[in-house]
Structure 1
Amino acid sequence: MTPRRARAAALFVSALLALTGCGTTVTTGSGGPGPSGSPSASPSVDYAALAREAAVRHDRDHPEIAARCAGRATALPPAPGATTGTDPEANKYAENNAFKRELPDTPMEECKGAAHAERIRAALTGAGKTVPHTEAQLRTALEGLGYTVGPGAIVADAATPDSGRLWFQLRVHEGGPCVGGQLHDPVRIETHGSYMEGGCWQPKGGH
Structure 2
Amino acid sequence: MKRPALAATAVLFAVGALLTGCGSVHGSDGTTAGASKPAPQGASTAASEAQQKYRQQAEQAAAEHDRAFPAVAQACAGKSTAVPTAAAPTSSSGPQPENPKYAENHGYLKTTELSPLAQCRGDAHAARLAAELARQTPADAEQAKALLARLGYPEATVARAGQGVQFSFFVPQVGPCLSGTLSNPPHIEVHGPYVEGGCEASRGGH
Same fold? TM cut 0.5: yes
TM-score (normalizing by structure 2)? 0.66
Secondary structure of 2:167's counterpart equals strand
Correspondent of 2:84 among 77, 85, 89: 77
Q: What does residue 67 of structure 2 align with?
A: 60
**Following superposition of structure 1 onto structure 2, how do residues 101-116 of structure 1 map, counting pairs within 5 Å?**
101-116=110-125
**Structure-2 change in CA distance of 1:84 and 1:198 (3 Å):** farther
CA contact under 8 A between 1:178 and 1:200: conserved in structure 2?
yes
Aligned to 1:160: none
| Cross-structure match for 2:149 | 143
Aligned length: 153
Residues 120 and 155 of structure 1, relative CA distance in 2, 3 Å threshold:
same
* CA distance in 1: counterparts of 2:200 and 2:125, whole angstroms: 17
Among 118, 123, 128, the alignment partner of 2:132 is 123
The structure with more radius of gyration: 2
Determine helix, strand or coil for the equivalent of 2:112: coil
Post-superposition CA distance 1:48-70 (Å, at most 9, x none) = 33222211111111111111101
1:32-51 deviation digits (Å, cap 9, x = unpaired): xxxxxxxxxxxx79433322
Q: TM-score when scaled to structure 1?
A: 0.65
- Structure 1 runs (4+) deviating above 4 angstroms are 88-91
1:117 touches 1:191 (CA, 8 Å); kept in 2?
Answer: yes
2:105 to 86, 96, 108: 96
User: What percent of counterpart residues are identical?
Assistant: 39
- Cα 1:167/1:143, change in 2 over 3 Å: same
The equivalent residue for 1:184 is 183
Question: CA–CA distance in 2 between the matches of 1:90 and 1:52?
Answer: 45
Aligned to 1:205: 204
Decide whether aligned partners of structure 1 residues 202 and 140 sit closer, same or farther in structure 2, where only a CA change above 3 A counts.
Answer: same
Residues 144 and 182 of structure 2 are in contact (CA less than 8 Å); yes or no, is this contact kept in structure 1?
no
Aligned runs of 1:152-171 on 2, under 5 Å?
153-157=157-161, 164-171=163-170
Secondary structure of the structure 2 residue equivalent to 1:200: coil
Unaligned runs of 5+ in 2: 1-49
Deviation at 1:187, TM superposition (A): 2.1
- Alpha-carbon shift at residue 122 of structure 1 (Å): 0.5
Contact residue 83 and residue 114 of structure 2 kept, 8 A: yes
Deviations 1:13-32 (A, max 9, x none): xxxxxxxxxxxxxxxxxxxx
- Matched to 1:55, the amino acid is A
Alpha-carbon distance between aligned partners in 1 of 2:151 and 2:204, rounded to the nearest angstrom: 32
**Structure 1 unaligned residues grouped into runs of 5+:** 1-43, 158-162
Cα deviation, residue 201, structure 1: 1.0
